Structure 1
Amino acid sequence: MEFNLVAIVILYQGNCGLSKCITCYLMAMSAADLLLVIINIILNRINNIYFPLTFLFITPVCAVRAVLLLAALDCSVWFTVAFTFDRFVAICCQKLKPRYCTEKTATVVIVIVAVISCLRSTVWYFLFVPSIIIDNVPWFCIQGPDYYTSPLWAAYEWIDSILTPLLPIFLILVFNGLTVRNIIKANRLRRGFRCHGSGQDNIDPEMENRRKSIILLFALSANFILLWMTYVTHSLNWQVINYNYLDKTISGPVYVAQQFGFMLRLLSSCTNTCIYALTQTKFREELKNGIKYPFTLIVTLFK
């Protein structure tokens, strides 16, 4: 959570040498990840364990918490897809790049993704019903009986699983694959021209930058897919397991796999920005300057 907050502050200053388009996407990703950590850890996990009887457990508030969590998760995933597509356009679509890879377009895409994610997550608000009513006040959230019997809810759950994260995983793989193929093809042509022109294969800074781009893209894809795989596997098999598996205690392998998937999914929201931002030299310099600033200020005051 601290890194996401620091990343937002550093990126907002605009001293990282990144284009405004990239900065918009990175700030949006960091903000969504920060919101996800706050809702999931502070408002859900910590509150559920240490403050079990607060106003946050009133049914409408509890349902809103669930909607906000799903919306933040959806934004985190699809902001990553939007940024991946932006980099695909920047590298592979030179004619479209001047019109698409702009701060204005990035802002519009971010707003559209956020609005759609919020609207899509709002549907889940109507799923929950109170577990108990005390003095006409509904408490806690449980899934309504229609959730287990209605084919509409079953279909919506499958569609939701496809939209997050199966489709994003597929799109990230496709865009990154096309981007890497374009970079490799361009490198071969550039290497051939350099060897033909100079008679030797010297180190090319442009090719070195492209090589780093390939490593970055593969790192992002591997990080996203690996950290989501446990959750995806559990989600796709949950309906079968739920009805046929007998050991449903907190020590059972099904519950452990579920919680492990949740943990890795949350970890994914903390690593995407690290992969993108920490690979930038100027970002690391700004981070070091921020860490040194309090000590420099103290030394200056005592002089």
Structure 2
Amino acid sequence: METFHSIRKIYYMILAVVGVPVNLVVIVILSRGKCGLSMCTTRYLVSMATADLLVIITGIIMWRISSYYFPVSFLSITPVCSVSIVLFYAATECSVWFTVAFSFDRFVAICCQKLKAKYCTKRTATIVLATTCILLCLKDVPFYFTSEPGEIIDNIPWFCVAKPSYHTDPAWVGFDWFDKILTPLLPYALILLCNALTVRYILVTSRVRKELRCKNNGENHNDPEMESRRKSMVLLFTISGSFIFLWLLYVIDFIYYNLTGISPEYYNDSLYIFSEVAVMLLSLNCCTNAFIYGVTQSKFREQFKNLITNMVASILQLLN
């Protein structure tokens, strides 16, 4: 168990060291609007990167790393760490639901040509993202009241300990179910549904278009429209597929402890490690999108190279 704790501490430190600059670079590159993506898509991707960055700051740096290396600090005061918990949950859920919003936007862009012109716009994306963020922040306010002080020193409450009633009181149990259904069970279902409908539509339309082009031209030429859709599909499926894979163990853990009635605080060593690995994997989701853009988007790679080149040139100019 001691070895696992050491691995976990190193893991979160690496995640913070890598995740912060990576997401900042993504935000800068995408905000320039030179990656060949629509303004609508760019707005979703920038929002997702911003939410991922906030998850790293609030959940990994302020919560995990702070408790590992600075067990007693300003962040350990009960009201402060309660606020940190609310911010972490809000950032995490925004990251998840922004992914859902992006998946639905791409579904509309690919499968609903009549609705595309009205829905897939910069204005609609702004309204969807802002509304989602506000509603999730309001929904997570009750998390502030789920903790109680672990100690009181000189009339100052320290540390955040989950109230015993959180796992037994019907109101809190209902809130916990609502929270987990909202994130990630419902997003899981919606993303799978959007992807399934998108795949079905693409398979049907590509077969029809291929047959029509063969009849008209006598041979199968490249189809620019299908190529454009293919690129959209690659970006959509890699992002949503990464989310589904990295959140899978967390979903399994949630289903397990609700079916068995075993509270996570009473897990044995094996179940405890399983639940912590699940959290570690979903935390990794905050860094994967940046690498997905690099692998799937050639213009993103080009803009990244230009950014690095300009940074190096600026540093050398300062040194000289």
Normalising by structure 2, what TM-score? 0.87
The answer for the alignment partner of 1:43 in structure 2 is: 62
Using the alignment, how far apart are the partners of 1:115 and 1:270 within structure 2?
24
- Answer with 271-280 or 68-77: which moved more: 271-280
What is the CA distance between 1:294 and its match in structure 2? 3.1
* Counterpart among 191, 210, 213 of residue 172 in structure 1: 191
What are the Cα deviations for residues 34-60 of structure 1, in whole angstroms up to 9, with x where unaligned?
A: 010111221111110111111111111
- Answer with 196-205 or 98-107: which moved more: 196-205
Gaps of at least 5 residues in structure 2 are 1-18
Using the alignment, how far apart are the partners of 1:266 and 1:62 within structure 2?
19
Question: Superposed, which structure 2 residues align to 1:1-303 within 5 Å?
Answer: 1=19, 2-239=21-258, 240=260, 242=262, 248=268, 252-276=269-293, 278-297=295-314
| Secondary structure in 1 matching 2:219 | coil
What is the CA distance between 1:267 and its match in structure 2? 0.6
Gap change, CA 1:297 and 1:246, over 3 Å in 2: closer
- Answer with 287-296 or 32-41: which moved more: 287-296
Gap change, CA 1:99 and 1:293, over 3 Å in 2: same
User: Which letter maps to 1:242?
Assistant: I
User: Which letter maps to 2:36?
Assistant: G
What are the Cα deviations for residues 114-133 of structure 1, in whole angstroms up to 9, with x where unaligned?
A: 11111111111111111111
What are the Cα deviations for residues 124-164 of structure 1, in whole angstroms up to 9, with x where unaligned?
A: 11111111111111111111232132111111111211111
| Secondary structure in 2 matching 1:201 | coil
Normalising by structure 1, what TM-score? 0.92
* Matched positions, count: 300
Contact 1:127 1:143 in 2 (8 A): yes
Q: CA RMSD in A?
A: 2.2
User: Which letter maps to 1:22?
Assistant: T
Contact 2:213 2:220 in 1 (8 A): yes
User: Which letter maps to 2:71?
Assistant: P
Percent of paired sites with the same residue: 50
Contact 1:26 1:273 in 2 (8 A): no
What is the CA distance between 1:241 and its match in structure 2? 6.4
Using the alignment, how far apart are the partners of 1:195 and 1:301 within structure 2?
60
User: Which letter maps to 2:177?
Assistant: W
Gaps of at least 5 residues in structure 1 are none
